[in-house]
Structure 1
Amino acid sequence: MMTFKETAISWQMLVGAALSYYATIAFYRLFLSPLSRFPGPKLAAMSRWYEAYYDVLQNGKYTFKIAKLHKEYGPIIRISPYELHVMDPSFFESLYRMDGRWDKYSWAYDAFGAKDSTLFGSGHDAHKSHRRAIAPFFSKQNVFARQDLLRNNVDKLCQRITSLNGGAIFNLGAALSAFTRDNANEFIVGKSYNELDLDDFGVGLSNASRGAGVFWRTTKHIRWFGPLLKAIPISIAMKSADEGTQSFLRYLLQSEQDTRDTLAAAMSPSPDTRIQNTIVYEIVHSTLPPQEKTLDRILQEVASSTGAGFETTAAALRLIIFHVYTSAPILQRLRQELATVSFDESGSHPLKALEQLPYLTAVLMEGMRLSPAIATRAARVTNKDLQYNDWVIPAGTPVGMTTYLMHIDENIYPEPMRFKPDRWLGPKKASEATYAPFSRGTRICLGMHLAWAEMYMILAALVPRFDFIIKDAAAGDFEADTDNFGVGTKAGCNMNAQVTTVSA
């Protein structure tokens, strides 16, 4: 029979074995790993908990820490035991390209819990087949064909703002979020949630939806966190949730039910036009095999594609509108240019005509430079060695760059934090080779044409009609402050403004 003393020794041996195990792992990662020769902080090389400190405890600051690490260690660094990061624009087109096999880094993207979706799926082959099925739906041609849907929401927003004329202060930031959510939901799933009609523009839902960034950052490092939260029945979560979170949970329930109903209608013998203009119909009637058309996968596709169209575009619009309305020269120049465009039979500016306006285009490009679709790095994995200068990056190594950091590189964009639309005009305009607000290569954002259309149309509608005085805010409030996968800002979804209509 084992004595207490013998049991105590066994525990000591267990602790010793654990320490030896982790010491061996640290030794391997520091000295024997194929990545051991790459520069970077030793703590990052030994453990992902280095990154977790900035992701979780410092609320999404690893992107900005990486920028500081590059200044210390050079253009290529090791940012975790497994991953490299490059900060050199000359390497961008070598990494984000159309040819070759490129997987996403599953460790980062699986944390969203939608690994079978086009956006968050990591595998090259699965992504290629999924993307092929829905790419026509998000094509520029289809966006142009359905611009009346966007115009209706533009008009609805303008009507709401007109009703506030006379100096009323309202949350323009929340209104822009409601605008992009209504567009995304109606365009993608054919469902009108009419958040532009809500008194507060659904600001609680806007704020709650931004919590997805915290969910993602935490689940990356604590793999059971996301599945645990998703396993909690919504009926139970509702009891302890605040009002904003309850709005978000109700939206999830409604979205799931609407997707179920749309799927049933899409599979019926004669679905109506509304159903045919949905991503669900596109998937059901694609050449994908039956196992790729299940309710679960379609739910993932719907959730990821609509979610990607909410705050990404709204954040860029808040930043753009702040700079337009706090700079009289920019505002006046935009109004003069828009006055040269004729209205169509609907009384609006045609989208194709707006795209030809150089200064409006420059304003939007500058906004997307400072507020691109995502704030995090986009690591890729390929089955071949990559060459970067004198460095050979081993096949299978996740290596990424960060668009936002490239967009604020002072060597490419002088005075990078200054909003300067003119940098995109004239013979000395900035090169678009390093401009990638929607990424590049095989994983370029499917929804970019929808996002551009929204931004062109809303600026063209607001600028000639309204004067806004932005209250209690500075430019830095709308610039990237947190890596929420998307751009997290100090202002969040809020931008209070006082409005008056422009005299004819």
Structure 2
Amino acid sequence: MIFSSLTPVVGTTFVVVVFLLLKLRTVWYNLFLHPLKNVPGPKLAAATDLYKIYYDLIIRGGLLEQIEKLHKQYGPVIRIAPNVLHFNDERAYYQIYGVGSTFTKDPELYSCFAMNESSFTYTDPEAHRRRVQMINPFFSRRAIVELENVVQEKVDKFITRMISHPKDRAINMFWAFRCASVDVITSYVLGQDFHAMDHPYFSHPFPLGIQRQVHVLWVWKYFPFIIPLFLSIPKRIMTYLKPLLGELAAALAVREQVEEKIERFLSDERALEGVEHEVIWHHLIGDGMEELSELDGEKKVSGLGGREKGEKSGERRGEYDGPSKNSLLSEALILTQAGSDTVGNTCYLATFYILNDPSVYHKLKEELRQVWPDKETRIGMDVLEKLPYLNAVLKESLRLGHGVVTPLPRVVGPGPAEILGVHVPAGTIVGMSCTFLHYDPRVFPDPYTFKPERWLPGGSSNLSEMEHYLRPFSNGPRQCLGQNLAWAELYLIMGYVFRKLDLTMHDTSIDDFKHFKELFVPSFEGRTFHAFAEEATS
């Protein structure tokens, strides 16, 4: 009787003891037998992933700040997890991310976006190469010039909305620029305008939903089962849950809208003919549609993500050898979200720094007046991109805005590598945050200060080196595909804002921009930047 009552206790104790012994064995291996055992860094980080998890989740976006402290203590190469190295050296950055690198993306990070079949999240280099071949022409400079009017239309609307904003209420510049960039990217890429700028006070729920996802990204990274579980909820049940999801419901609504449009394009090859201008679907779906042939059976939708059945296409049935529906959806959503964040954040930071320094503000306004004496006329990107001071302001804003601040992890392979004199076995995760390039005092003296003049001829003796260190769009074969579009938006938005508007900063200071959390992208901890806007008088 006593024995039988003790059996569950003994069994549970046995399982716990075995679990702890296995963990201790792993810790012992990581500390004393692992190939990276001699790389400097905290012993706790070498022993267990809990060190990294603590700074990501408990401190919430504090890992990058801790990495900076560790480099000051241990040098240019540190071990931040049992199988993860971080570097602080320009040579390592280009070896990891440069052209010719054979290192692949680490699926642990990129799977947390729940968009595994996109140009951004593909970990297979061949899958990525094929996708880039399909969509690169759409983001070429030539394509941007041809579709500049699409961007211009939204910029004009943004200026109108800024001027018409209630005069007794300061504009939340964070959301204003996010709404503008969302409307530009969705109109340009998808041919769908979500009218984010039309919402009162620039508080459209879709940009808010994107930011909400950013703030839960690390939770999804360490608990990856949450996303597929969440997305598998039937639509009829999700309808009842949406009121509880807040801004995330808006992101889901956009997902559904894009999915419906994809289904329409896949079911009817003629639907693309009605699109107002060239969009991403012409490259991802249109090329495949051209190869439709008269074959019996159901239409098949195949892609890098596999092959799935689709609807019949009227009386015409054939073989469509393009990306799967899931891949099309992944590509659309990642382009929309990533494309809006970098531009929105750069405009937000640039506007603050310009208003925070009267000399910068007046120099930029004067340069724009000189080339654009009549503000009622329209001026194009071809003129704005040649303005030295506007370029200097944008480059300095990109330097301090960084783009993605998380050390983008790469898996060493197919064989071992030597980085900064350290033997790195195949399968090791390596990375380096671009912040270590952008804040390098040897290249950028007084690196935390906004100084556009450093980018002007005569402002620095090492302009080529500065350009080499400026990597807001990453580098190499996995660099941002949309950087030509991003530059076009930056020229047009910032050029028009500071030529057509007079802005006054409200209740914001430099202290609000001194610290940020590393939530893949920077999330500043201070008060949100607000400003009043009036139409420029001259």
Asked whether the two chains share a fold, i.e. TM above 0.5, the reply is yes
Contact 1:312 1:487 in 2 (8 A): no
* Residue of structure 1 equivalent to 2:360: 330
Cα distance change, pair 52–237 in 1 and its aligned pair in 2 (3 A)? farther
Matched residue SS, 2:254: helix
> Is the CA contact (8 Å cut-off) linking 1:44 and 1:50 kept in structure 2?
yes
* TM-score between both structures, scaled by the size of structure 2: 0.87
Over 3 Å counting, the alpha-carbon distance change for 1:167 and 1:269 in structure 2 is closer
Aligned to 1:441: 476
What does the per-residue CA deviation read over 1:457-479, in whole Å, with 9 as the maximum and x for residues that have no partner?
11111112222111111234346
CA offset digits 1:293-337 (Å, max 9, x no partner): 221110011111111012221111111001112211111111222
Give the 3 Å change call, closer, same or farther, for CA 322–164 of structure 1 in structure 2: same
Paired with 2:486 and 2:390, the residues of 1 have a C-alpha distance of: 15
**Aligned match of 2:296:** none
Among 436, 440, 463, the alignment partner of 1:409 is: 440
**Is the counterpart of residue 261 in structure 1 residue 275 in structure 2?**
no
Residue 344 to residue 398, structure 1, CA distance change in 2 (3 Å): farther
1:291 aligns with 2:303: yes
Secondary structure of the corresponding residue to residue 469 of structure 1: strand
**What corresponds to 2:508 in structure 1?**
473
Residue 179 (structure 1) shift: 0.5
With over 3 angstroms needed to count, the CA separation of the structure-2 counterparts of 1:269 and 1:400, relative to structure 1, is: same
> Structure 1 residue runs of 4+, over 6 Å off?
343-346
SS at 1:470's partner residue?
strand
Corresponding residue of 1:238: 242
Q: Which runs of 5+ in 1 are unaligned?
A: none
Tell me: CA distance 1:136–1:177, structure 2 relative to 1, closer, same or farther (3 Å): same
Moved more, 311-320 or 159-168: 159-168
- In the alignment, which of 380, 392, 400 is matched to residue 350 of structure 1? 380
State how far apart, in whole Å, the 2-side matches of 1:97 and 1:323 are.
Answer: 31
Displacement, 1:165?
8.0
Q: Say which SS state the counterpart of residue 200 (structure 1) adopts.
A: helix
Secondary structure of the 2:303 match is helix
SS in 2 for 1:33: coil
Amino acid of the structure 1 residue aligned with 2:244: S
Alignment of 1:161-200 (within 5 A): 161-164=162-165, 169-200=170-201
- Partner Cα distance (1:175, 1:421) in 2: 24
SS state of the match for residue 200, structure 2?
coil
1:79-94 → structure 2 map (5 Å cutoff): 79-94=80-95
Shift of 1:448: 0.8
Q: SS at the partner of 1:85?
A: strand
1:468 aligned partner, one-letter code: L
Question: What is the CA deviation profile of residues 185-223 of structure 1, one whole-angstrom value per residue up to 9, with x for unaligned ones?
Answer: 011110111221222223443233112223321122122
The 2-side partners of 1:263 and 1:402 are apart by 40
Q: Which residue of 2 aligns with 1:247?
A: 250
Report the Cα distance in structure 1 between the residues aligned to 2:213 and 2:167, rounded to whole angstroms: 37
Q: Could you tell me which residue of structure 2 aligns to residue 309 of structure 1?
A: 339
Task: For 2:471 and 2:349, locate their aligned partners in 1 and report how far apart those are by CA, in whole Å.
Answer: 17
SS of structure 2 residue aligned to 1:500: strand
3-state SS of paired residue (2:263)? helix
Residue identity opposite 2:341 in structure 1: E
TM-superposed deviation, 1:446: 0.5
In 2, Cα distance between equivalents of 1:395 and 1:271: 49
SS, match of residue 532 in structure 2: strand
1:132 CA displacement: 1.4
Provide the rounded CA distance (Å) in 2 between the counterparts of 1:444 and 1:191.
25
The Cα offsets for residues 445-501 of structure 1, whole Å up to 9 and x where unpaired, read as: 011111111111111111122221111112343466112212212358x43211222
Question: Does the 8 A contact of 2:134 with 2:284 survive in 1?
Answer: yes
Which position in structure 1 is the counterpart of 2:32?
A: 31
Cα pair 2:356 2:510 within 8 Å, conserved: no
Kept in 2, the 8 Å contact 1:259–1:299? The answer is yes
| Number of residue pairs matched by the alignment | 500
- What is the CA-CA distance between 1:80 and the residue it aligns to? 1.2
- Indicate how the Cα distance of structure 1 residues 208 and 285 shifts in structure 2: closer, same or farther if over 3 A, else same: closer
Preserved CA contact (<8 Å) 1:92 1:434: no
What is the TM-score with the length of structure 1 in the denominator? 0.93
* 1:346-495 equivalent positions in 2, closer than 5 A: 347-381=377-411, 382-427=413-458, 428-430=461-463, 431=465, 432-478=467-513, 481-490=516-525, 494-495=528-529
CA deviation after TM superposition for structure 1 residue 269, in Å? 7.7
* 1:102-124 deviation digits (Å, cap 9, x = unpaired): 31111111111111111112121
Q: Is the 8 A contact 1:375 1:486 kept in 2?
A: yes
